[in-house]
Structure 1
Amino acid sequence: MKKTSLDWDKLRVFGVVAELKSLTAAGKRLGESTPTVSRKIDELEKMLGCGLFNRTTKGVELTEAGREVQRRTRAMSDSANDIINTVSDLDLEGTGSLRFSGQDGVASHWLARLIPQFQDERPGVDLDFQIADRDADLAAGDADLSITFSEPRQRDILSIRLGVLHYMFFATMDYLDGRTAPASLYDLQGHDVLIHDAYSYQIENWSSRAVDLKKAIRFKLQTNSGTVLREICAAGGGIAVMPSYVVELDPRLVALDLQEVAPIQFWLTYTPRMQRLSHGRQFIDWTRKQFSNEKSPWFQDTFVHPNQFDKYARRDR
């Protein structure tokens, strides 16, 4: 039997088709036409002397031979990536670059103000700190690390649960002056209530209290910016739904005597390469500490009302 060298490009195409179970979807991801993808699969099957897929009305399904080829191509891909990562990881201890991504909120308001501490401790690390309107796809190379509000399910993406954000109500003393402070969610009717777009869209997934809130009141203002939300509230523009930690960031704000609206978990996600790199591990450990109970009370599982601390308690009570 004549020996034939395998075509790496055709194996790459096979891997995408096997993952997506569709020639058309694979073509879109690869930037190739469906007929071109189909031709490469046909040529690979001819080269191997066996069928790799069964065509169905819903797409394609792997044959037994196809599943074996998929297993081996994954192993080959992992080995190739190990070569790249092992060589690139031969950096100087504690130096290198990191690409971090997070959404508007805890990344931009809580973590960003602490970054100079990390830079002072690790002067050899260059950080690219990006704020995006969606979770970064680490598997696709969008970033090396990211703060997300859902636990990752992708293969080979690691994560650490950082804590819980507790959403509650804030206002200013100027706004409350001459008004009756709400004692329940239903007392918010008639008040100017402010909210972030992302919170508004997520309310149905939060809790029964949050759903009741949406039914009971009309939001005076919605914005896609956490900074805008905080500034309008701090200027006396109304009562805003924000995470409990903002009381530590802005002395103009006072926490209302209401329970939290919703607890939302969040994670630090990162690639295996970051776990191997010394400066990657340093950033992971440092970030985890910024949300620890020892560092701050705002991110623990149990809601802690700011009024439990004298310096954050309202003085008019």
Structure 2
Amino acid sequence: MNRRDLDWDLYRTFLAVLRAGSLSAAARDLDIAQPTVARHIESLEAALGLQLFVRSPRGLLPSETALELRPYAEGLAATAAALLRTASGQGGEVRGTVRVSASEIVGVEVLPPILADLHRRHPALVIELALSNTVEDLLRREADIAVRMVEPAQGALVARKVGRIPLGLHAREDYLQRRGMPASLDDLAQHSLIGFDRPTPAIRSLVREVPGFDRVRFALRADSDLAQLAAIRAGFGIGACQLPLAARDPQLRPVLPDVFALELGVWVVCHENLRATPRCAAVFDGLVAGLATYVRNRGDL
């Protein structure tokens, strides 16, 4: 076997071992035998003339070469998945698979009823929901459609701005009864604050004008928005969340609404080559309509 004849299965197995960290775990993920995984790795290493993994007490450690090859293997995997999704949706009927990328909060708290309505109207439609606070690369087809909180800059994408979601500080009522309602940003120093651990550029731009809401003051730091929301709901302290979500919970109370008032833009984005396909058009339009209702009705879908 030479480099030009390499089977895609070898790259797929290579990526599975990279992600899983062992032959046995990769075999379970791929639903194939462990000796087959080992044979694939040996064949790939022999064809490339390179060592890809080193055995250690902690499992298989990727070599520097393997780490350099990883993004290309991930690109192949994304392309293969996109090929299957595209093939599944051929024809005029709304059918096949659509991969949707969204942040944790939107994917868990906002999208389920929207997707349920889409499935009722189009039962042959299959949705893959990828939850991540990173921006999925639509140009590489890691997702077909994305719900983004930042405006896309790539020219090959079709984007529809749905609106703006207001953010505010909130705390559970019993927490405020114990600790008191802060009257100013300075008073936040006397409270248990919930916030981010590692600020992203989007977070920095949002909180730049709120000096009292700073990482060094947080009593709980989490990069998971879901974890922050759960902590607010549990009565841990004061944290920022979307006003439509807070409006659903009768136990949550706004804190300093006249001082801490931020907004997140919301866009539904799709690659221009997919916008006209029946499956993607149905999901794109359904997401736009559902998210517009969420923004307009303060979370009541």
Q: 1:291 is matched with which residue?
A: 291
Does 1:98 find its partner at 2:98?
Answer: yes
Q: Which amino acid aligns with 1:236?
A: G
Partner residue, 1:135: 135
Indicate conservation of the 8 Å contact 1:161/1:268, yes or no: yes
- Percent identity of paired positions between Structure 1 and Structure 2: 20
Taking the aligned partners of 1:174 and 1:139, their CA distance within structure 2 comes to 47
In structure 1, the partner of 2:276 is 276
**Cross-structure match for 1:183:** 183
Secondary structure of 2:292's aligned partner: coil
Aligned amino acid, residue 234 of structure 2: A
Structure 2 CA distance, aligned partners of 1:143 and 1:277? 15
Matched letter for residue 153 of structure 2: R
SS of the residue corresponding to residue 146 of structure 1 reads: strand
**Offset from partner CA, 1:184-228 (integer Å, 9 cap, x none):** 222212100101346676443125532x22459711111122222
Q: Closer, same or farther in 2 for the Cα pair 1:128/1:89, shift >3 Å?
A: closer
2:121 maps to which residue?
121
Structure 2 CA distance for partners of 1:200 and 1:171, relative to 1, 3 Å: farther
Contact 1:102 1:108 in 2 (8 A): no
CA distance in 1, matches of 2:200, 2:193: 12
Equivalent residue number for residue 235 of structure 1: 234
Paired letter, 2:239: A
Q: What amino acid sits opposite 1:105 in the alignment? A: I
Alpha-carbon separation, structure 1, partners of 2:226 and 2:145:
23
Specify the structure having the higher radius of gyration (Cα): 1
Alpha-carbon distance between aligned partners in 2 of 1:209 and 1:238, rounded to the nearest angstrom: 21
The Cα shift of 1:116 comes to 1.4
Gaps of 5+ in 1: 1-8, 10-84, 300-310, 312-317
Q: How many residues align?
A: 216
CA 229–86 in structure 1, closer or farther in 2 if over 3 Å, else same: closer
Instruction: Tell me: CA distance 1:258–1:146, structure 2 relative to 1, closer, same or farther (3 Å).
Output: same
- Amino acid of the residue matched to residue 154 of structure 1? Q
What is the aligned partner in structure 1 of residue 72 from structure 2? none
For residues 228 and 89 of structure 1, do their structure 2 counterparts lie closer, same or farther at Cα, with a shift above 3 Å needed? Answer: closer
Per the TM alignment, residue 94 of structure 1 is displaced from its structure 2 partner at its CA by 1.5
What CA deviation, in whole Å up to 9, does each residue of 1:114-152 have, x standing for no partner? Answer: 321221121111111111241010111101001122222
Decide which moves more: 155-164 or 290-299. Answer: 290-299
Looking at structure 1, the residues matched to 129 and 99 of structure 2 have their Cα atoms a distance apart, in angstroms, of 6
* Alpha-carbon shift at residue 272 of structure 1 (Å): 2.0
Distance (whole Å) between structure 1 residues aligned to residue 214 and residue 279 of structure 2: 48
CA distance in 2, matches of 1:284, 1:242: 25
User: Quick one: structure 1 residues 197 and 289, their matched pair in 2 at CA, closer, same or farther if it must change by over 3 Å?
Assistant: farther
Moved more, 187-196 or 243-252: 243-252
Q: Distance in 1 between matches of 2:214 and 2:224?
A: 23
Shift of residue 87, structure 1, vs aligned partner: 8.7
**Please, which moves more after superposition, 191-200 or 227-236?**
191-200
Q: RMSD in angstroms over aligned alpha carbons?
A: 3.0
Post-superposition shift, 1:294?
Answer: 8.1
Tell me, what secondary structure is at the counterpart of 1:234? helix
Which piece of structure 1 moves more, 146-155 or 166-175?
146-155
Q: What secondary structure, in the 3-state scheme, does the structure 1 residue paired with 2:231 have?
A: helix
Tell me the equivalent position of 1:265.
Answer: 265
Aligned partner of 2:244 in structure 1 is: 245
Q: Note the 1:49-128 alignment, pairs <5 A.
A: 90-128=90-128
SS at match of 1:112: helix
Contact between 1:89 and 1:276, CA under 8 Å: does it hold in 2? no
| Other-structure match for 2:152 | 152
Q: 1:132 to 1:208 in 2, by over 3 A?
A: closer
Indicate the residue corresponding to 1:224 in structure 2.
Answer: 223
Runs (5+) with no aligned partner, structure 2: 5-84
Q: Could you tell me how far apart the structure 2 residues matched to 1:295 and 1:204 are? A: 23
